[in-house]
Structure 1
Amino acid sequence: MGKCLLLLLLGLSLLLGFLQGELLEREMELDTSKSTALKCYKCHFIGFNGTCWTKRTICQAQNDQQCVLKKFYGGNKFIFGTQTCGTTCNPTTIVYRDEYTYFSCCKDNLCNKF
């Protein structure tokens, strides 16, 4: 009984995170035409299933910043990722044994979508 309840709560929290991201994305698509500053998705922890496990927000890039998306893999399996505004970003893939990290950078509004 306890395991079923935990699974139900986990499923509901993932669904809520997904819906929160979809609503935020639609709201920001409407809002980006009002401002010339670069806006990027910001999520401190994207879980193995591709949803933001923390509160997804929008950051406004300052000066020479870009939108950054980082993905961490173990073997061929996605482990976690992050989205943010960042100053030092070189599109890179770092490989160490069967683990690799992928950094991507872009300069369009909300381009660091996962």
Structure 2
Amino acid sequence: MSSSVLSPEATSLTCITCHLRTPADHCRRGFGICYAQKYEKCMRLRIYFQNTLQLSYMVCQRFCRNLTYNFNNRTYIHKCCNDNFCNFRT
């Protein structure tokens, strides 16, 4: 009658969180991990100015999709992935 049940942490996609990461140093705000919920993937947003990385932002993101756009002379690149810690890799 005993059944093996895995905890959400064991079955969920695990992503890195960082709400402010600059190229020169480590995460300045919000470093940790999140467990993707239904319809979420790992996401990394990178913001470039004149082809130079200014900062990045990493979270679990609902309905994530890859997207690149330009706004106010900056390029915003959203990358979504579906492997543990994939949003932390370069």
Q: Place the TM-score, normalised by the shorter chain, in its bin.
A: 0.7 to 0.9
Structure 1, unmatched stretches of 5+, are 1-33
Aligned residues: 81
- The corresponding residue for 1:5 is none
Per-residue deviation, residues 40-66 of structure 1 (Å, max 9, x unmatched):
000010113252112410001111100
Structure 2, unmatched stretches of 5+, are 1-8
Q: Distance in 2 between matches of 1:72 and 1:56?
A: 18
What's the TM-score, normalizing by structure 2?
0.80
- The corresponding residue for 2:31 is 56
- The corresponding residue for 2:13 is 38
Q: Distance in 1 between matches of 2:25 and 2:17?
A: 14
Of the three residues 52, 77, 85, the one matched with 1:77 is 52
Q: 1:50 to 1:70 in 2, by over 3 A?
A: farther
Higher strand share: 2
Which amino acid is 1:53 matched to? Answer: R
Aligned sequence identity (%): 27
What's the TM-score, normalizing by structure 1?
0.64
Higher helix share: 1
1:86 pairs with 2:61: yes
Which amino acid is 2:14 matched to? Answer: K
